[in-house]
Amino acid sequence: MSEHAVELVRVDKHFGTVVAVDTVSLSIRNGEFYSLLGPSGCGKTTTLRLIAGFEMPTAGQVYIDGELQGETPPYRRPVNTVFQNYALFPHMSVFQNVAFGLEMRHVSKEVIQHSVFEVLEMVQLPGMERRRPGQLSGGQQQRVALARALVNHPKVLLLDEPLGALDLKLRKAMQLELKALQERVGITFIYVTHDQEEALTMSDRIAVMNKGQVLQIGTPEEIYERPASRFVADFIGETNFLEGKVAAVRNGEVAVEIGDALLVYAPLERDAVVGDTVVIAVRPEKISLSTTPEDPRALPGVVREVVYVGTDTRYLAELAGQVTVMVREQNLAEETARRLSAGTAVYVCWQPQSARLLRG
């Protein structure tokens, strides 16, 4: 068995003049929950279809379980796809829908019976065998689609925005369930989503895509805490971007002047020399506001807006009349939820290691 369930090596896919996939290389390990995350039109579905064999690459190679796929048709690849619209047969029962693939492969009646019941148990749909898809809720239909894909014991399951049609609460429940299911069955999942929170919740690793290219690959923590570019920092979570010029580099730290005599600091995680135009990215929840200057590096500012959003309070703070940053403070107690009002003079502070130095 190959260490990698799926490998893409410098894969391109063009549709006429449209470059849907641009030099994409991925190495997806056995048993990984791997997400392709990016905005609509960035090439996620096309990448999945290249793995499934519904599309052939314009250039580059697709390997599944160490074998070069070349022109191998979809039904000969050890993968199965779950689509957002479920694609169930409406006139067939749940049992028949799930059994369909096995019947096509002339598996014996006893084995089909056993496999279908086992997999319906797995997706938590026992007792629904006789129903038609139209008699099921959206979430239940999605489980049937999953069961139908899992019953073939694929090496890799490809899921294209499978929860996209469900309402938020059900989607969140299904996210946790899918993740637990994946861990139980140990099958490699390649999961396409444009929802950053979904990708963070479920994935072992995430490939962030934009305009056909993979911009960054990492664990949820790596992607969130150490975005490699402004696009990734902006797409995943909320971020303050402070543009400026490098004023000093010393002791593994960079000082950046973001306005007239406003200095902010970040670890020197990439090459930078004095005078470079750079961007410092800081997450709103890493910033603290205080009415006393507790840190020598705290920046004086004024609260401009206060928005109570239940779990936390968002403040917009203006730094020395120049730049505005968003700050999020968790509401640990009701009485501290709006502890600062608009117009309050504050000191704005964050740990230098919470800031990221990005290219300008």
Ligand X SMILES: Nc1ncnc2c1ncn2[C@@H]1O[C@H](COP(=O)(O)OP(=O)(O)O)[C@@H](O)[C@H]1O
Please report whether residue 44 would count as binding ligand X according to CB under 6 A: yes
SS3 182: helix
Give the distance from CA 163 to its chain's centroid.
14
Answer yes or no: are the C-beta atoms of 183 and 21 closer than 8 Å: no
Please report whether residue 162 would count as binding ligand X according to CB under 6 A: no
Q: Which is nearer to Mg ion, 14 or 339 (CB)?
A: 14
Where b means 16+ CB within 10 Å and e means fewer, 285-320 reads: bbbbbeeeeeeeebbebbbeebeeeeebbebbbbbe
For ligand X (CB under 6 A), the number of binding residues is 11
Rg (alpha carbons) of the chain, rounded to whole number: 25
Q: Of 120, 79, 75, 76, which Cα lies nearest the Cα of 99?
A: 120
We find the least distance from the C-beta atom of residue 61 to ligand X, in angstroms, to be 19
How does DSSP classify residue 93? -
Give the number of other CB atoms < 10 A from CB of residue 5. 26
Please report whether residue 207 would count as binding ligand X according to CB under 6 A: no
We find the least distance from the C-beta atom of residue 176 to ligand X, in angstroms, to be 24
Q: Which is nearer to ligand X, 84 or 219 (CB)?
A: 84
List, as one string, the DSSP characters of 289-311: EESS--STTPEEEEEEEEEE-SS
Proportion of the chain in helix, strand, coil states, percent, rounded to 5: 30, 35, 35
Stretch 29-48 residues interacting with Mg ion (CB under 5 A): 45
We find the least distance from the C-beta atom of residue 232 to ligand X, in angstroms, to be 16
Say what angle helices 168-185 and 109-122 make with each other, to 10 degrees. 130
Query: 312: number of CA atoms within 13 Å, CB side?
Result: 10
Please report whether residue 46 would count as binding ligand X according to CB under 6 A: yes
* Dist CA 339 CA 157 (whole Å): 49
We find the least distance from the C-beta atom of residue 340 to Mg ion, in angstroms, to be 43
* Dist CA 360 CA 353 (whole Å): 19
Which stretch in 14-22, 300-308, 328-336, 349-357 sits in contact with ligand X by CB under 6 A? 14-22
Please report whether residue 20 would count as binding ligand X according to CB under 6 A: yes
We find the least distance from the C-beta atom of residue 329 to Mg ion, in angstroms, to be 36
Q: Of 226, 206, 208, which Cα lies nearest the Cα of 33?
A: 206
Which of ligand X, Mg ion, none lies near 41, with the C-beta cut-off 5 to 8 A by kind?
Answer: ligand X
* Dist CA 137 CA 139 (whole Å): 5
Which of Mg ion, ligand X, none lies near 42, with the C-beta cut-off 5 to 8 A by kind?
Answer: ligand X
Please report whether residue 191 would count as binding ligand X according to CB under 6 A: no
We find the least distance from the C-beta atom of residue 55 to ligand X, in angstroms, to be 8
We find the least distance from the C-beta atom of residue 41 to Mg ion, in angstroms, to be 8
Please report whether residue 292 would count as binding ligand X according to CB under 6 A: no
For Mg ion (CB under 5 A), the number of binding residues is 1
Q: What are phi and psi of 127, to 5 degrees?
A: 80, 5
Among 2, 4, 12, 41, binds ligand X (CB under 6 A): 41
Which stretch in 34-42, 195-203, 224-232, 257-265 sits in contact with ligand X by CB under 6 A? 34-42
We find the least distance from the C-beta atom of residue 42 to Mg ion, in angstroms, to be 9
Please report whether residue 15 would count as binding ligand X according to CB under 6 A: yes
We find the least distance from the C-beta atom of residue 307 to ligand X, in angstroms, to be 32
Which stretch in 39-47, 90-98, 107-115, 297-305 sits in contact with ligand X by CB under 6 A? 39-47
Among 35, 45, 69, 175, binds ligand X (CB under 6 A): 45
CB-closest chain residue to Mg ion: 45
The contact set with ligand X (CB under 6 A) reads 15, 18, 20, 38, 40-46
The contact set with Mg ion (CB under 5 A) reads 45
